[in-house]
A and B are shown apart, each in its own frame.
Chain A
Amino acid sequence: MLLDNEELKAQAREIIARYPQGKSRSALLPMLHLVQAEDGYVSGDGIGFCAEMLGLTKAEVAAVSTFYTMYKRKPTGDFLVSVCTNTMCDVMGGQTVYNVLSEYLEVGHDETTADGKITLEHAECLAACDFAPVMTVNYEFYDKVDPEQALATVRELQDGKLPQPSRGARLCTLKQLSRQLAGWSEDRKDALADTGIGEATLAGLRLAEKHGVAAPVGDVELNTPIRVEKK
């Protein structure tokens, strides 16, 4: 029972303290991430834990957890592989990547491999269309993937390796990552610097730099307060 876990209860109280007094219900989403960090999905036990800590009914908590895609209703693997198949990624080859992985892993959307290691899903637009098609593992990005790269990445995961994402930090398990979703900071301090920026992000800047272009600057006296005549 999660409710027997005093440390977890202390963490839940820490989450509640982030929100104004009397507004503890705001802690529900982070707390669902927290119980997912324990169980790998939002279990019945997890729902009971949130309900008890926040003074809600289990039905109220379940109504919320089932609304959001990231709360999983079944045990997930250590690694959640998400392939974006929204229009842009689809057109650029994302659906093929998904199909190839699905066939190789012998699982469909939101299903986990027999060894319990990898969960596959197709995702909606992940706000990385300039890197299309994209795939994420535990939400860290593998940009511009083709089927071969995607397969190679998944095979490495199966071999117990942690392939470095193109953007995002080095991989950890989904449970470990869920703690960050619950609001704890990255405790692998150098992981903050891990990430590659990604060339598409810099496309315009590289062009500006290469040709010596910069935006004009305004001249404003820093020490003078802003004053505006009342109209």
Chain B
Amino acid sequence: MTSPRPELLAKLTPVLTKRWLSPDAWRIDTYEQLDGYQALRKALKSDPDDLIAFMKDSGHRGRGGAGFPVGMKWAFIPQNDGKPHYLVVNADEGEPGTCKDLPLMMNDPHALIEGMIIATWAIRSNKAFVYIRGEAIHAARRLRNAVEEAYAKGYLGKNILGSGHDLDIVIHSGAGAYICGEETALLDSLEGYRGQPRLRPPFPATHGVYGCPTVINNVGSIASVPHIVLNGGAWWKSLGSENSAGTMIYSLSGRVQNPGQYECGMGITLRELIELAGGMLPGHNLKFWTPGGSSTPMLTADHLDVPLDFDGVAKAGSILGTTATMIFSDRDCPVYATYRWLMFYTHESCGKCTPCREGNYWMTRTYRRILSGKGTHADLDTLLDTCDNLLGRSFCGLGDGATSSVTSSLQYFKQDYLDYIEGHRRPLLNEADLVGAH
């Protein structure tokens, strides 16, 4: 294994991840020694409106997948409306491939809490929730401990650091439902209902949790805030690329030597990331990959030099998403990968709208037929037709996202489908394999 070239190593820019190597950074004493709660002091001296304008100027965009500008989202919260305002942190991390938020909360939970205090000061909120996926108990445990430590030191509760700002934080564990990551489903779940998306408008900025103005931000979006406040918006911009300010935690999984978290300035390419990760595994050649989770259209070896920022990936016909790069090789089958993702979407569909509930169910069955060697050429048209009826016609992003791997794999790897259909390839599934499937 060769070491990555020096000019590539220089592209590593640990900011959000920088404390993870300090074994005790999850404890408040260590966090304070590592600049912790400094940004908060600065922020609390500032006028909330200035803080919002500052975040707008920093170009910081949401890390939950859609890249909505953070400062703008905060500015949508109506002021002097007499209603309570809420901040809800989306820690439901469940998009297949995505694995950046849980390690952050495990290893640097105070960064999230500090970001939350700053954000609530800006939007004038006194109560915040972290909705964390239930299975992530290892991270919730650390986060809850951090909240208790922060109360004990006066960073939470009444009159924080003498600023007059009050804040209570509740850590709320979900119970296993990917759809609850969708922000309006999350709100329903937080209110004690089945997690099903709400009709928009009205938007959460005016009618969020309990019908009150609510900001919903991803863990990474909020945990970046203290760093931006401490180092300045110009600095944040300088770390990224045009329209994509800052660093991003790229999560590499699959057929590389050293899978894991690599924080780099936005705009790095997959070719560079793979080199940082020690190259592909021996005997594996890159075949397909996702730029940001299973809901983002897959790309191929032809896209190795696409800048992984919001505009670059969009131009290549996909979505930056959560920068969860799942890397598959010529030993992996894009048809099977898509089938397995569809099983996931079928299981996780909340059932509220017909295109998603029925479409995923039937597409899964079509894939089974193809993968067990019984598919027909017409099946491929059926798949595309079904996707047509999901994309843009589903009630929420889950249904849209489910079509991504179907249409992109058909676009780039139609021959792989034809190989099953025309009997050039041994069927991957038999009846026994279907037992235990949802």
- List residues of A whose CB falls within 8 A of some B CB: 18-20, 23, 25-30, 32-33, 54, 63-64, 67-71, 82, 85-88, 90-92, 98, 102, 108-109, 122-132, 136, 139-141, 167-169, 177, 180-183, 185-186, 191-193, 195, 197-209, 211, 213-220, 222-228, 230-231
Contact = CB atoms under 8 A, between A and B. Distances in A.
Contact of A70 (B46, B101, B175, B324): B175
Q: Which 4 A-B pairs rank lowest in CB-CB distance, beginning with the nearest?
A: A203-B260, A218-B235, A218-B231, A69-B176
B138 A215 contact: no
A181 B294 contact: no
Residue from A136, A200, A204 having most chain B Cβ neighbours under 10 A: A204
B183 interface: no
Nearest to B41: A222
Contact of B106 (A102, A139, A197, A224): A197
A131 B254 CA distance: 9
Given A88-B326, A124-B344, A200 B259 contact: yes
Nearest to B21: A205
B102 to A, nearest CB: 5
Contact of A168 (B138, B191, B260): B138
Interface of B: 4, 6, 9-10, 12-15, 17-18, 20-21, 23-24, 26, 38, 41-43, 45-47, 50-51, 53-54, 57, 84, 93-99, 101-103, 106-107, 127, 133-138, 140-142, 144-145, 148, 170-178, 189-195, 210, 229-232, 234-236, 238-239, 247, 251-254, 258-264, 276-277, 294, 324, 326, 328, 332, 337, 340-341, 344, 347-348, 350, 435-436
B185 to A, nearest CB: 10
Nearest to B276: A207
B47 A127 contact: no
A130 B253 contact: yes
Nearest to B142: A192
A226 B50 contact: yes
Contact of A207 (B12, B47, B235): B12
A192 B143 CA distance: 10
Contacts of A140: 137-138
Given A139-B137, A215-B15, A225-B47, A202 B21 contact: yes
B46 A207 contact: no
B145 A192 contact: yes
A135 B344 CA distance: 17
Contact of A228 (B43, B57, B328, B348): B57
Given A86-B344, A211-B9, A202 B191 contact: no
B160 to A, nearest CB: 16
B194 A64 contact: yes
A127 B145 contact: no
17 contacts: A25-B191, A29-B175, A30-B172, A33-B175, A68-B134, A98-B436, A124-B94, A124-B344, A129-B324, A200-B259, A204-B262, A205-B20, A213-B9, A213-B12, A215-B18, A220-B232, A228-B57
A211 B230 CA distance: 25
Contacts of A125: 94-98, 294, 344
A168 B251 CA distance: 20
B96 A200 contact: no
Nearest to A231: B53
A230 B57 CA distance: 11
B12 A185 contact: no
A203 B93 contact: no
A30 to B, nearest CB: 7
A199 B436 contact: no
Nearest to A229: B53
B141 A64 contact: no
A222 B42 contact: yes
A216 to B, nearest CB: 7
A190 to B, nearest CB: 12
Nearest to A65: B175
Contacts of A228: 50, 53-54, 57
Contacts of B236: 218
A183 B261 contact: no
Given A125-B96, A125-B344, A130-B99, A211 B6 contact: yes
Contacts of B235: 216-218, 220
A20 B127 contact: yes
Contacts of A205: 14, 17-18, 20-21, 261, 263
A122 B217 CA distance: 30
Contacts of B253: 88, 129-130, 132
A70 B326 contact: no
A202 B251 CA distance: 11
Contacts of A18: 170
A226 B261 contact: no
A19 B192 CA distance: 11
Given A222-B41, A228-B53, A200 B261 contact: yes
A54 to B, nearest CB: 8
A185 B148 contact: yes
B134 A181 contact: yes
Contacts of B14: 204-205, 208, 214-215
A88 B325 CA distance: 11
Contacts of A23: 191, 210
Contacts of B294: 87, 125
